[in-house]
Amino acid sequence: MIGRRLRLAALVATMAVAATGCQYWGMAKTASDNGEPVPWFCDPVAANSVTLPGMGFTNFYAGQTRAPLSSSQCLTVAHQFDEAKAYAEQFPTLGAAVDAGFDNTFNFIPGMGTHHGLDSISPELLADPTFDPLHPIIPNSIIDDVFDPAQPEFLQYNGNGRDAVLVGMSYYVRTDTGQPPAGFVGNNDWWHHHPTLCLDRATAVASSPNITDAACASRNGVNVHLQDYYMLHLWVVDDLEYHADVHAPMHPCIVSTGAIFDMDDPCHDNYTPAGAAPAAASLTSADGAGATDASMAGMDHDMGCGMATMPEETTTAAAT
């Protein structure tokens, strides 16, 4: 918990964030006031799987279905999505994120982008004799056992260069229950995990998931066992919202050449409807850095945009 705040130095007044953070709450409030169905981000229509290639093998949501949130639930998550979006938009390019202290964990992967996290696992941590790759704890990091909807642990970009732009964000939370965190209200946020990731000793960038320790060592890597860490994507970036499922594990408009920022592009209709089995997806990095082995094949709201219950100050990342 303490580590979550160590590299969050620049204090930003709540009013400044809230003034530009009303997009999703406003849509939910309008729908609620007019007696309309909840907006798309509260009503997933695409099939979702937590056992795609590269993920874990346990379906934590077996026998469960997803359904539209209630208006009250939708207002809650909409406010939280606005906060997460405002946080992520402080780092519109990969260069801005790197300058603020975000480390590369995964190179660009079609369907997801990159994964850059504040104080994530570093080469120095991998070499530290006190670091236990079987039960990893990342000291002084926001990657911990706290679910903070206003601060996603990872930001995702549409390429590996400094001019790559923001495409999404992800939460990454550790639990000791053998189950994903409670997360957002309702049952539409289906979390997945990667039981092991092979991290390069020199860069700490992940490549192959779910390979043996010996196979990882042969690649000059450390196989970090992350079975207690769970991930959830959030697709709310302007002109790249994924209306079929705001928490989809893969975004079909993030392609090998980057991202398609066009809500009219047919890529947005490229999904399997709920109730059908999702198509398998590859998690190989566009530049070849990813794996090539077979394993890769509760608030009541009338908040005026959330103002009533937001804390007096919120924190944002700053480089040190």
> What pLDDT is stored for residue 276 in this prediction?
56
Of all residues in the chain, the percent with pLDDT exceeding 90 is 75
Q: Please choose, from the candidates 112, 190, 185, the residue with its C-alpha nearest in 3D space to the C-alpha of residue 154.
A: 112
Q: What's 111's DSSP letter?
A: T
Q: Which pair of tokens denotes residue 25?
A: 């709450």
Q: Is the pLDDT score of 314 beyond 50?
A: no
Return the number of other C-beta atoms located less than 10 Å from residue 255's C-beta: 14
Taking only the tens place, the pLDDT of each residue in 2-14 is 444 433 433 333 3
Q: How confident is the model at residue 290 (pLDDT cuts 50, 70, 90)?
A: very low
What is the mean predicted confidence (pLDDT) over 89-108? 97
Contacts of 136 (CB under 8 A, 6+ apart): 121, 224, 225, 226
pLDDT exceeds cutoff 80 at 317? no
Mean pLDDT, residues 191-207 taken together: 96
Sorted by where each begins, the domain ranges of the chain are: 2-316
- Joined tokens for residue 217: 């060592």
Q: Which residue has the higher pLDDT, 47 or 309?
A: 47
Q: Which residues are CB-contacts of 28 (< 8 A; sequence separation ≥ 6)? A: 38, 39, 42, 71, 74, 75, 78
Say how far apart CA 299 and CA 309 lie, in whole Å.
9
pLDDT in tens, 262-288: 999 999 998 988 765 544 444 443 333
pLDDT at 294: 30
Distance CA 249, CA 247 (A): 6
| Lowest-confidence pick of 17-31, 81-95, 191-205 | 17-31
Task: Quick: pLDDT tens for 14-55.
Answer: 334 344 568 999 999 999 999 999 999 999 999 999 999 889
Residue 79, pLDDT > 80, answer yes
Predicted local distance difference test score (pLDDT) of residue 149: 97
Report residue 299 as tokens.
């608030």
Mean pLDDT computed over 195-215: 96
User: What pLDDT is recorded for position 316?
Assistant: 29
Could you tell me the pLDDT band of residue 78, with boundaries at 50, 70 and 90?
very high
Confidence (pLDDT) at 274: 78
When pLDDT is cut at 50, 70 and 90, the band that residue 214 belongs to is: very high
317, 176, 171, 208 alpha-carbon torsion, rounded to 10°: 110
Q: Rounded mean pLDDT of 126-135? A: 97
Segment 225-266, tens digit of pLDDT: 999 999 999 999 999 999 999 999 999 999 999 999 999 999
